[in-house]
A and B are shown apart, each in its own frame.
Chain A
Amino acid sequence: MALKIVKGSIDRMFDKNLQDLVRGIRNHKEDEAKYISTCIDEIKQELKQDNIAVKANAVCKLTYLQMLGYDVSWAAFNIVEVMSSSKFTYKRIGYLAASQCFHESTDVIMLTTNQIRKDLSSPNQYDTGVALTGLSCFVTPDLARDLANDIMTLMSHTKPYIRKKAVLIMYKVFLKYPESLRPAFPRLKEKLEDPDPGVQSAAVNVICELARRNPKNYLSLAPLFFKLMTSSTNNWVLIKIIKLFGALTPLEPRLGKKLIEPLTNLIHSTSAMSLLYECVNTVYIDVNTPPLPSLSLSLCLYLSLPPQLCVQKLRILIEDSDQNLKYLGLLAMSKILKTHPKSVQSHKDLILQCLDDKDESIRLRALDLLYGMVSKKNLMEIVKKLMLHVDKAEGTTYRDELLTKIIDICSQSNYQYITNFEWYISILVELTRLEGTRHGHLIASQMLDVAIRVKAIRGFAVAQMATLLDNAHLLTGNMQRMGICEVLYAAAWICGEFSEHLENPMQTLEAMLRPKVATLPGHIQAVYVQNAAKLFATVLKSQEGNTDSTAAQETSQLMIDRLPLFVQSANLEVQERASCILQLVKYIQKLQQKDVEVAEEVSALFAGELNPVAPKAQKKVPVPEGLDLDSWINEPPSESESEDEQPKAIFAKEEPKHSRPRREEVDEKELAKRREARKQEQANNPFYIKASPSSQKVYQEAPGVEHIPVVQIDLSVPLKVPGLPMSDQYVKLEEERRQKERAEKKKKEKKKRKEKRSGRGKKHDSGPESEEDITPAHQVDIVTEEMPEKSSKHKKKKQKKEKEEKEKKKKKKHHHHHHHSDGGGEEAVQNGTVEEEEPLLTSLKNKSSTYQVVVSVIFENKCDSFLKSMEFNVLDSLNSKLQRPEGSGPHDGLTVPFQLPPGVSNEARFVFTVQSIIMPQKLKGTLTFIVKDSSTHEKLDFKLHFTCTSYLITTPCYSDAFAKLLESGDLKCSSVRLEGVNMPFHHLLARICFHHHFSVVERIDSCASMYSRSIQGHHVCLLVKVTVSIDAKCDEPTLLGNVLDEIKQTFSQC
């Protein structure tokens, strides 16, 4: 035995070890690849030996080679062998190699499950440690599933060294196998209070990462984290906790207030800059500061002082000589810019100064800022400065960046800030002189856009373009400039289309027919040829007026001479256009020779005004009578979709009445089932992110220009160019016409609806069953076009709503703590959670305005005794009544269908009938119960708050339907100002969406329109402005007033 060991050692002395390998590689710099291939051959030999030490040495060398970029996947099995060695020395190497070389597609990973399990339960904590470390790098969904339980057990290991590793690796396990989150969560939560600080910090880390992806699920942990934050002194932990609160505060505004004090303390007491940065960056208005200024900065943030002050502090940071701070300062500045553009604008000088910084990343940051800083006043100045930088800039990437930024800045929000388009055109022309840019097409499209849309500028634009065409050789002279020749495309088109503005069309025509043009890319030549024809028409027109007809004939001759060059083009488009036009000109020449006047007819070829069309214009075209865009062309594919069509049934009066109720029942059940399944799924998915904030984001990120119809451009005021642009007049006229048409159509629709309603009314008399037809959804006429998909949407919304309600309950939970914790045998009752349900069929009589509202109440037993015989009773009001079983009196309570052991919570649902939803309701109620031990009757009073908001259903609405609704004139107007609200606009919107069930219809810069619908079909429209005023319209002024009050309430709490 001893001899064997000695022999092994001696063997190894002759083998190359890692150091030898490294040294060898360094000594073979010239033929490294060759040297390594011989090494790999040696390693292959070594791996064939039985001696585990030799194998481990080989694997170690392979790990090194892997880093150098050599493929070692062939040795995967050997790595597993070394991992399974019982000796720590080799096991360590094996796991290291595995963690470096294995990834999800490595198939031998399957073989490791049992080995890893064995190592995890090894008595030696370092064996367990290396296994955990390795696993964290190569865990696959299969491994996660198989080992989740083992790792969960390790979370309660006696050694903190193992516990902290196990906790951290659980995050990776959750990622790969989300089902493990639910069973592991209680234990994870427990670890937040682990005696060992390392374990604690690991748990904070994991929960923070989880919460970042789906904060809602972790709101209930807020009190615990709050405690941790005030007690912990570990900066790493504190940073994570603050980050976590940063994710939670948007969902629970009251948290923000609570955090002020501990954060102030932190900022005062800490010396760690990263912590300060986190404090200010995450929770407050995303501001970053160096240690010293931050004190005053954070204070002014707390006191909600104007953001100018924050920016002042940031200025100090940006002026700092440390590049890192400068960069972070600019980054923070760009965040403030989104919410308070004005306060940043005053620091233009500083930002412009940063453009000169030697660090390119700082320059790019500064450029980003400029985008939001421009105004009508300073645009020209800023662009002038940028143009200077363009000239100075070295390196094409940065220069190209500058170029696109200049164009972005000028064209943003539909050229909002441009007061003088002549200036803009000359800027564009100047940009064409840039050497080697790739953005020729960008400049070209701007030229086209401006020339087409700003009619008054055409004269000037055409003159500039003609010069460009004349000097085309400057642009094309250098082959490197292929990008910039794109502008010739625009120039040729503009000169051709608007040739009536040309001073000397003949000269331009000649320029366009130069032989050199044939060297341009095909698509540009095609435009040249086509527009030469347009020019030709214009020239003819001017020349035929003269008495001398030879000039006109000479022009035709010029065309006939030059066009053959293009007829020979290899590009089909050029060839086709050229030969067509050539024949045409030849024919014209023939006519000219017979002294026929042709100019009129030739220009008729190109007659007609070109008008800008908004991207959404198609939607505004009225649908021709008799065309129903929503009817199925073919029969709907399958039975299963029948329930989606349900609301449609209202129009099919002849439908047999008996079949409906049954279907409805199925729907209820089906709905509940689906809801349950969905809840389950969402609960299991740690990353489930609610849809509304993300859709919000989409709006926010969408570039402004595409979303704004051209109609909105109103150039009459700011333009220095004289005269009101005709195109706009035209567009306006068109708009008026359409409005009229729409109004007429509306009238017709209304009539129809009335008829329908009265028809329905008659049916009511005939039998009570027909009442089922009245579901709130049908009263909305703005979405009628979307009938087929509506019902499904509606249901989804409800589910979502339910989730939201749940969330509210959760939040309420810890607030209720305070109220009820004093009495031992009491329960926390959550109220104010209203869920709208579709009317049940049997019980409702007449009056379409009666609605059922289901309230789910969570009963939580917080005392130590068993609770039973619970009775829930509510004092009915005229408007809202608790639905009681038949035969019971109006004051009888309802038995809660369960008992509550200590610490258990359960949910019960109660149905209310509500007549009018336009006023908020507060119902008083009592809960009586018997405490088992003492057998005494106890009573708990509560109030049920039915807010008006809870009657609103988030309903999507398209902007055109929305516009129609606003124009209809049926809606009453009201407005409100929110005082002291100081949050980013998108947060504000998100909050309105979340708390008040609105959806954003459209967002344009500083204002957003939002829509929601009540369960009785009232439309509620909001126009929210960044100045935090809300203009609102609704067909029920009382409801509107109440909703607005509630919104105000929400924001007064934050």
Chain B
Amino acid sequence: MQFMLLFSRQGKLRLQKWYVPLSDKERKKISRDLVQTILARKPKMCSFLEWRDLKIVYKRYASLYFCCAVEDQDNELITLEIIHRYVELLDKYFGSVCELDIIFNFEKAYFILDEFLLGGEAQETSKKNVLKAIEQADLLQEVRIFLYHQVAEPIREIDCQLDSSWSRAATK
């Protein structure tokens, strides 16, 4: 896999992971192009498109688009599977994930992704193992999360105030 992008229906980037070395400028250009191309596609269109010399596989979950770029010989269906697997992992970790979870805890979303994919290849195919690794690494983290929960209001409440139209991200 060359890179993975998460972006919202409004075209805002929510997560980006690059597995090939590219300059910031190229990255920006690619994500801008791709976001535009994908958002322009109609909902009933298929999940694959050829873009430059890459195959793009994308899927929409609620308001979020998950988009992966793979090479020509790669399997489109397994890439869809990877996307779905990642959504499931997020869902398990956050407990019915929504876009705001990913925005406010974007570093967590990255940590989960890093435990699941490494260098663009799936490193762990067992969901249980991924979550276990994350939980244990979290245990090593310091009190900081605890502290903030006391000071700040729970994120979920704010969710509802900000945008009531958000629905649960993960399907199935």
Contact = CB atoms under 8 A, between A and B. Distances in A.
Do A and B associate with each other?
A: yes
Interface of A: 9, 13, 17-19, 22-23, 26, 53, 60, 63-64, 67-69, 71, 73, 87-89, 92-93, 96, 99-100, 103-105, 124, 126, 129-130, 132-133, 136-138, 161, 164-165, 168-169, 171-172, 198, 201-202, 205-206, 209, 212, 234, 236, 239, 243, 273-274, 277-278, 281, 323-324, 326-328, 358-362
Contacts of B23: 103, 105
Given A165-B118, A169-B119, A18 B104 contact: yes
A1022 to B, nearest CB: 30
Contact of A88 (B21, B77, B80, B141): B141
Interface in B10-46: 13-19, 21-24, 28, 42, 44-46
B46 A88 contact: no
B107 A96 contact: yes
B110 A96 contact: yes
B52 interface: no
A19 B147 CA distance: 13
B46 A9 contact: no
B78 interface: yes
Nearest to A124: B140
Contacts of B133: 129, 161
Chain B residues touching A, majority SS: mixed
24 contacts: A9-B147, A19-B148, A53-B144, A63-B107, A64-B106, A67-B14, A69-B13, A88-B141, A89-B141, A92-B137, A96-B111, A100-B16, A126-B136, A136-B118, A137-B18, A169-B118, A171-B121, A201-B122, A205-B122, A239-B78, A274-B77, A358-B42, A361-B45, A361-B50
- Ranked nearest first, the 6 interchain pairs of A and B with the lowest CB-CB distance are A274-B77, A323-B46, A136-B119, A327-B46, A274-B78, A88-B140
Chain B interface category by residue count: 35 or more
B123 A202 contact: yes
B155 to A, nearest CB: 7
Contacts of B111: 92, 96
Q: Which of B13, B49, B122 has the most CB of A within 10 A?
A: B122
A17 to B, nearest CB: 7
Contacts of B148: 17, 19
B114 interface: yes
Contacts of B103: 22
A234 B124 CA distance: 11
B126 interface: yes
Q: Which of B75, B119, B137 has the most CB of A within 10 A?
A: B119
A278 B77 CA distance: 9
Given A69-B13, A124-B140, A362-B46, 12 more contacts: A18-B107, A104-B21, A133-B118, A137-B18, A164-B123, A164-B124, A277-B77, A323-B44, A324-B46, A328-B76, A358-B42, A361-B50
Given A88-B140, A89-B140, A209 B123 contact: no
A96 B137 CA distance: 14
B136 to A, nearest CB: 7
B160 interface: no
Contacts of A53: 144
Nearest to B155: A19
Contacts of A64: 106
A85 B42 CA distance: 48
A940 to B, nearest CB: 43
Chain A residues touching B, majority SS: helix
B44 A198 contact: no
A68 B44 CA distance: 29
B21 A23 contact: no
A234 B125 contact: yes
Contact of B151 (A13, A278, A361): A13
A361 B46 contact: yes
A212 B125 contact: no
A358 B44 contact: yes
A362 B50 CA distance: 11
Given A165-B118, A168-B118, A168-B119, A236 B125 contact: yes
A73 B76 CA distance: 35
A675 B23 CA distance: 39
Q: Which of B14, B140, B155 has the most CB of A within 10 A?
A: B140
Q: Which of A23, A137, A171 has the most CB of B within 10 A?
A: A137
A60 B45 contact: no
A13 B151 CA distance: 8
Nearest to B50: A361
A171 B137 contact: no
Contact of A198 (B15, B119, B126, B136): B126
Interface of B: 13-19, 21-24, 28, 42, 44-50, 73, 75-78, 80-81, 103-104, 106-107, 110-111, 114, 118-119, 121-126, 129, 133, 136-137, 140-142, 144, 147-148, 151-152, 155, 158, 162
B10 to A, nearest CB: 11
Nearest to A140: B21
A88 B137 contact: yes
B105 to A, nearest CB: 8
A48 B18 CA distance: 30
B16 to A, nearest CB: 6
Given A17-B148, A92-B141, A67 B15 contact: yes
A64 B136 CA distance: 24
A652 B123 CA distance: 66
Given A133-B114, A164-B124, A277-B75, A103 B46 contact: no
Contact of B125 (A17, A105, A201): A201
Contacts of B125: 198, 201, 234, 236
A100 B22 CA distance: 11
B140 A359 contact: no
A161 to B, nearest CB: 7
A171 B122 CA distance: 13
Given A19-B155, A60-B107, A89-B141, A243 B81 contact: no
Contacts of A277: 75-77
B48 to A, nearest CB: 6
Contacts of A169: 118-119
A322 to B, nearest CB: 8
Contacts of A132: 118
Contacts of A18: 104, 106-107
Contacts of A198: 123-126, 129
Given A18-B107, A67-B106, A361 B123 contact: no
Contacts of B16: 67, 100
A209 B49 CA distance: 23
Q: Which of B21, B133, B142 has the most CB of A within 10 A?
A: B21
A918 to B, nearest CB: 43
Contacts of B121: 168, 171, 202, 205-206, 209
A659 to B, nearest CB: 53
A246 to B, nearest CB: 8
B73 A273 contact: no
B63 to A, nearest CB: 14
Given A323-B46, A326-B46, A327-B48, A89 B21 contact: no
Contacts of A201: 122, 125
B140 A103 contact: no
A63 B110 CA distance: 11
Contacts of B106: 18, 63-64, 67
A274 B142 contact: no
A470 to B, nearest CB: 41
Contacts of A212: 73
Nearest to A138: B21
B21 A103 contact: yes
Contacts of A161: 133
A201 B80 CA distance: 19
Contacts of B15: 67
Nearest to A135: B119
A724 B170 CA distance: 69
A826 B146 CA distance: 70
Contacts of A362: 45-46
Contacts of B136: 126
B40 to A, nearest CB: 10
